[in-house]
Amino acid sequence: YLIPTVYDMPDEIHPLVLEIADPQGPYGVRGLGEMPMLVLAPAILDAIHDATGIWFTKLPVKAEDVLLALAAREDGGEG
Q: What is the pLDDT of residue 24?
A: 85
Question: Is 10 among the domain residues?
Answer: yes
Question: Is 17 among the domain residues?
Answer: yes
Question: Is 68 among the domain residues?
Answer: yes
Q: What is the pLDDT of residue 53?
A: 95
Q: What is the pLDDT of residue 68?
A: 96
DSSP state string for 16-53: -------TTSGGG----TTGGGGGHHHHHHHHHHHHHS
Question: Is 1 among the domain residues?
Answer: no
Q: What is the pLDDT of residue 36?
A: 64
Question: Is 56 among the domain residues?
Answer: yes
Q: With contact defined as beta carbons under 8 Å apart, do 56 and 48 qualify?
A: yes
DSSP 31: -
Among 34, 64, 74, 78, the active-site one is 34
Q: What is the pLDDT of residue 45?
A: 94
Domain count, the chain: 1
Question: Is 79 among the domain residues?
Answer: no
Q: What is the pLDDT of residue 50?
A: 97
| Domain span at 60 | 6-74
Q: Kindly report the CA angle at 63 between 57 and 66, in degrees rounded to 5?
A: 50
Question: Is 18 among the domain residues?
Answer: yes
Question: Is 59 among the domain residues?
Answer: yes
* Integer Cα distance of 47 and 50 in angstroms: 5
Is 12 one of the catalytic residues? no
Over the chain (79 residues), the average pLDDT of each successive run of 10 is 84 84 82 69 93 93 96 80
